[in-house]
Amino acid sequence: MAEKKKNTVSVVWDIAEPIAKRLGLILWDVRFLKEGTEWYLRIIIDKEEEAVGIEDCVAMSQALDEPLDEADPIDQSYSLQVQSPGIERELTRDFHFTTNIGAPVMVRFIRAKDGRREYKGTLEAYDNGLVTVSCPDGTTLSFDKKETSWVKLDDFGGF
């Protein structure tokens, strides 16, 4: 049986994660996307106790240059960008949800749920893609994260 070829994001994640750990950083996300005619490889890093600074981004970028060149996982030309997840960070990966249980979140659904597309509340649970949020009105929403446009931390009482 032929081995399944990893996609670009998975290959880059495998390269970037040990580098981030070595630098005392958390690899938050890897995104490879096209904007207009340009391709961007975005490495999003975080830190446990303090904010990510420009020096962290520079160190990660420099540490990635050689391993990415050696692995050559991307056929077309692209720009490498290393950045912090910023405020109101988007939760996309399983560990984003599990490490933020109890945090205030904003949710935007692809299709309206009970007549609304946007909700806010507290992230109560996450299990294999199933998200549970308790809303300020006392209701509880349970949904598959695939139903959402995004789920973000609510750092400022959004919407």
Task: Give pLDDT tens digits for 59-116.
Answer: 999 999 999 999 988 988 999 999 999 888 999 999 999 999 999 999 999 999 989 9
How many whole angstroms separate alpha carbon 58 and alpha carbon 22?
14
Lowest-confidence range among 6-15, 39-48, 150-159? 150-159
* Model confidence, pTM: 0.82
Q: State residue 156's pLDDT score.
A: 79
Phi, psi (degrees; rounded to nearest 5) at 53: -110, 170
Confidence of residue 2 (pLDDT cuts 50, 70, 90): very low
CB 68 within 8 A of CB 80: yes
How many whole angstroms separate alpha carbon 102 and alpha carbon 17?
26
pLDDT surpassing 60 at residue 142: yes
In the three-class reduction of DSSP (H, G, I as helix; E, B as strand; rest coil), residue 53 is classed as: coil
